[in-house]
Structure 1
């Protein structure tokens, strides 16, 4: 027989005994009992440790002194778990004493043996248990056996490896290995299953890399022309339900439009309140906007123009951009070098300071992260929970003079895309500070990008060259030709 302690695998990191034991456990959990028994017999390795097998038999037989000795002999058991295990044993033992009518023995054990092993609080709990159990009445052998099995199940929750293996341990290890491979895959952008037959690695055709369509003036059929603003429109926001549109005039008011009819439903702002940015709440029933004038603050309105909440006053800086988290619980606001996160319900505020001016903001679809573009030619990624001391930094694009907008994209917001003043579109994996793709096609500054939230391999970019480009994966493009 091979030495059970020998290592297997090319790296020598896996112990044969542990590996076989995990296989036995997996066979049992998959329902292959005969195969598991055969492997146990052939390898002389049981799916259960000898201590666990002995403890199980003693509990089911009601040999409580032996059970206590086994628990006390377990070197891998921490004292807190040992105390809890002993508590379970004494509780079962005492309940059986009461069931037999041997109250004097139960009290003797409770007074003389238990205090030496358990803390006072647990002794009191046991004492209360005796009186409650006394009211239950007599139990037959089958009921006693079921109680012992329940005691064993509770006991197993306290036992650490290698005494007891966690349920589905081998599957857990395999899943972690798959997750590690996915995390190392810079192009991973699919929720399709990952095969165990080979190492996982996606090709670049999982993300948008080639132009599918170029849209220019004169090539598009307009549904509506919204022409109520008197100044250039600097900001637009679709409602999550796609029925309404918000537009901000540059240094002007905020307007709410009906998408189907093209009519203006409401006008917000005015009378000295200059709107600079806007966003929708997830329910499409409330909207928020910020002012570019210091002290004017931030307002939450419903679609009828009723003010729901506001943050205003002399301390409020001018707002350059804002966003609502997907759960609607937090509002993130940027102004110059400051990032503020407001709790919408409690109005509490958290502040993050940047070293350079912030030009734009975007929140991930899962609500865990947000990114800000800085005029220092960096994009910073922060966690919405504000637990990080420092952001993740992404570099490579060019941003010095103009407002450049970036966005999250792909499966689980795994990618970041940004325009650039060098006419390129840059794409990063969220775990890599350097771009994984640089897309050429535009002739002038790319101001804004938008990653399709449903089609994870589609990206749109808008440029000063007067075009909007739709990008897709290279393989799909070659097939379409």
Structure 2
């Protein structure tokens, strides 16, 4: 059975009409279809270009030609092929593509063998070509011919049996035709174009250049440059094709924009809400303060929450950001309404203290660590729903839960973190070599940041099998609980407090310490990076203050939508006019 014969004008004559349109055939079937098509391939003598000698000139020209065709510049694409002597496709492939567009199905299937493909690829490509033939026969109500194509051409390929059964159902019930009677000549051409796109994915890239390959390569280059840039903290869309991408530290919150002084004792803990609109802080003065982040970035006091009789060591925001859990040191958990500042409920356990708290992902229940090393689950009204006894937690005031709500995360022993499947009673552990001080979860709950007694931070992948993926060093910790966090755009950074009164920031991927922020006069106990605004960081200190860190505005001069930076690669001590001092390759902001 040959190609389908059209009673009207052949489809091949209409290719010229579509080729001038953006999104038309990127395979070179254009007004200049015949140009450069008779040129032989230059692939036998590979010429490398570029300073590294790794770019194949023939491949580059072919990719450029494909990009021109896909952008709708058909005449320019054809001219490139003619002038370079490098065709986008070989004459055999061009003939094959023409046959697909014209519906010469038997010839196109035979041509697959002439292209020189693997037998598996030939079968897969033949299947989708013959499937197109099958549907076009059905569309013309040539049911017998369609049945013969299925029985004598598609079935013998012996692949995709499930799909064959689906095709058989169209013979039994022609009314189920995918084209539902609207499969006219123009839509048939569009369907054949889609078939070419599927074949492009199936055939080796040396035979048919993948669609929009140049765009894909540029996107890859952007992402690689972004990952290699240790200060990158802006959207990829702001990157330019015209220059290599390199950010300066001005894209990192490194300058104090506000000092909050409402607490009367050491500030132990702070955390931004999930939507970045609020900041909650707790202190040795037994107070919890809710701060509101205004539209201009200014942070203002919203509520002072009093009621705890002991210093507040832990805070947890509800999934909807409307409520807050606070936990006193071996005391009680209180649940607060953010809008009114009212205490909605107090959770207590007779004769025992509660040491940590977190929300279930649905916001309908809470979990708490208990001083007897058990874990309790409560409904919002204070009814204890479950209690898991044994060595489930320690006195460390950290507890987390995975995104699916199925695993609780606690420190169950001095050097062991427990991932406890509270529904199935399953247990997975992470064993460290040194005592654990605190931990924090990434925003997607797939990574765990662990602070250790030996002044190291470890990042563990907990999505599936647990795996240590990174270590960070540099901050100081010998006596106190010092907390760290993920932060920045796509959580590309690690930040930590330190007993030397500074905030430390590492580039997460390279593990390089990139900034130390000076300003506090005592131990920095906790840091929190705004999850919505990558340019806002908060730190809490024993000096009774909270510092809000923002961008260094002195040298943030916009130039054509891009920030200009005064970068210097010299590793000796130096200072720039923007007030940033560089010491041994690490920026130190005063």
Which TM class, normalised by the smaller chain length? 0.7 to 0.9
Q: 2:380 aligns with which of 303, 321, 339?
A: 303
Alpha carbons of 1:326 and 1:154: their partners in 2 closer, same or farther (altered >3 Å)?
A: closer
Q: 1:11 aligns with which of 41, 44, 52?
A: 52
Return the offset for 1:281. Answer: 4.1
Q: 1:179 matched to which residue of 2?
A: 223
**2:533 aligned counterpart, secondary structure:** coil
State how far apart, in whole Å, the 2-side matches of 1:255 and 1:458 are. 28
Q: 2:443 matched to which residue of 1?
A: 365
Q: 1:356 aligns with which of 423, 430, 434?
A: 434
1:200 and 2:200 matched? no
Alpha carbons of 1:338 and 1:242: their partners in 2 closer, same or farther (altered >3 Å)?
A: same
Contact map agreement 2:263 2:545 (CA 8 A) in 1: no
1:233 and 2:312 matched? yes
State how far apart, in whole Å, the 2-side matches of 1:123 and 1:222 are. 67
CA-to-partner distance for each residue in 1:355-410, whole Å, 9 max, x for gaps?
22212121222333220111121111112304453231111111222111111111
Q: 2:408 aligns with which of 289, 307, 331?
A: 331
State how far apart, in whole Å, the 1-side matches of 2:341 and 2:149 are. 86
State how far apart, in whole Å, the 2-side matches of 1:271 and 1:325 are. 29
Alpha carbons of 1:124 and 1:269: their partners in 2 closer, same or farther (altered >3 Å)?
A: closer
Contact map agreement 2:327 2:356 (CA 8 A) in 1: yes
1:412 and 2:490 matched? yes
State how far apart, in whole Å, the 2-side matches of 1:450 and 1:125 are. 53
Return the offset for 1:426. Answer: 0.7
Q: 1:314 matched to which residue of 2?
A: 390
State how far apart, in whole Å, the 1-side matches of 2:389 and 2:207 are. 63
Q: 1:45 aligns with which of 83, 86, 94?
A: 86
Q: 1:270 matched to which residue of 2?
A: 349
Return the offset for 1:89. Answer: 4.7
Q: 1:245 matched to which residue of 2?
A: 324
Q: 1:82 matched to which residue of 2?
A: 122
1:379 and 2:457 matched? yes
Return the offset for 1:345. Answer: 6.6
Q: Which moved more, 1:333-342 or 1:440-449?
A: 333-342
Root-mean-square deviation (Å): 3.9
Alpha carbons of 1:165 and 1:267: their partners in 2 closer, same or farther (altered >3 Å)?
A: same
State how far apart, in whole Å, the 2-side matches of 1:49 and 1:306 are. 74
Q: 2:365 matched to which residue of 1?
A: 286
CA-to-partner distance for each residue in 1:4-43, whole Å, 9 max, x for gaps?
7322222221122211111111112222223223223323
Q: Report how many aligned residue pairs link the two structures.
A: 474
Q: 1:213 aligns with which of 241, 253, 258?
A: 258
Contact map agreement 1:420 1:447 (CA 8 A) in 2: yes
Return the offset for 1:440. Answer: 1.9
Alpha carbons of 1:235 and 1:143: their partners in 2 closer, same or farther (altered >3 Å)?
A: closer
State how far apart, in whole Å, the 1-side matches of 2:556 and 2:78 are. 54
Return the offset for 1:236. Answer: 2.5
1:170 and 2:209 matched? no
Q: 1:256 matched to which residue of 2?
A: 335
Contact map agreement 1:277 1:322 (CA 8 A) in 2: yes
Contact map agreement 1:244 1:259 (CA 8 A) in 2: yes
Return the offset for 1:470. Answer: 2.1
Contact map agreement 1:95 1:133 (CA 8 A) in 2: no
Contact map agreement 2:393 2:410 (CA 8 A) in 1: no
Contact map agreement 1:446 1:464 (CA 8 A) in 2: yes
Alpha carbons of 1:79 and 1:313: their partners in 2 closer, same or farther (altered >3 Å)?
A: farther
**1:205 aligned counterpart, secondary structure:** helix
Return the offset for 1:135. Answer: 6.4
Contact map agreement 1:210 1:477 (CA 8 A) in 2: no
Q: Which moved more, 1:415-424 or 1:177-186?
A: 415-424
Q: Structure 2: give runs of 5+ residues left out of the alignment.
A: 1-38, 265-288, 290-299, 558-577, 580-590
**2:553 aligned counterpart, secondary structure:** helix
Q: Which moved more, 1:144-153 or 1:209-218?
A: 144-153
Return the offset for 1:3. Answer: 6.6
Q: Which moved more, 1:182-191 or 1:160-169?
A: 160-169
Q: Structure 1: give runs of 5+ residues left out of the alignment.
A: none
Q: Which moved more, 1:415-424 or 1:181-190?
A: 415-424
**2:226 aligned counterpart, secondary structure:** helix
1:425 and 2:503 matched? yes
State how far apart, in whole Å, the 2-side matches of 1:449 and 1:61 are. 65
Please report the TM-score for the alignment, with normalisation by the length of structure 2.
0.70
Return the offset for 1:104. Answer: 10
Contact map agreement 2:330 2:355 (CA 8 A) in 1: yes
State how far apart, in whole Å, the 1-side matches of 2:259 and 2:150 are. 85
State how far apart, in whole Å, the 2-side matches of 1:292 and 1:3 are. 76
State how far apart, in whole Å, the 2-side matches of 1:136 and 1:118 are. 23
Q: 2:468 matched to which residue of 1?
A: 390
**1:432 aligned counterpart, secondary structure:** coil
Return the offset for 1:61. Answer: 5.2
Alpha carbons of 1:130 and 1:429: their partners in 2 closer, same or farther (altered >3 Å)?
A: closer
Q: Which moved more, 1:196-205 or 1:469-478?
A: 469-478
